[in-house]
Amino acid sequence: MKKLIYTVMIMFSLAVMFTSCREEKSPEEKIEEAMDEVGDDLENASDDVQDAMEDVQDEIEEVKEESQDQ
């Protein structure tokens, strides 16, 4: 009888250990999340390009001012 109780306890423990409690996302949720990430990445890239263009424009203006001073 003890062996039966121990066996049931071990089986229950193993079942609890290997059962996932994590919520699984549906394919639609995964796609939506991926699209949001891509949109955020595009927005960040656009901001970076805009900042780089402004930096180049500032450099051009500085070079013009220096060439006019000479």
User: Could you tell me the residue ranges of all domains in the chain?
Assistant: 28-70
* CA–CA gap between residue 45 and residue 52 (Å, rounded): 11
Q: Contact at 8 Å (CB) between 25 and 33?
A: yes
d(CA 62, CA 58): 6
Quick one: how many helices (H) and strands (E) in the chain?
2, 0
pLDDT at 70 over 80: no
pLDDT-based confidence at 58, cuts 50/70/90?
A: very high
The per-residue pLDDT for range 34-54, each reduced to its tens digit, is 999 999 999 999 999 999 999
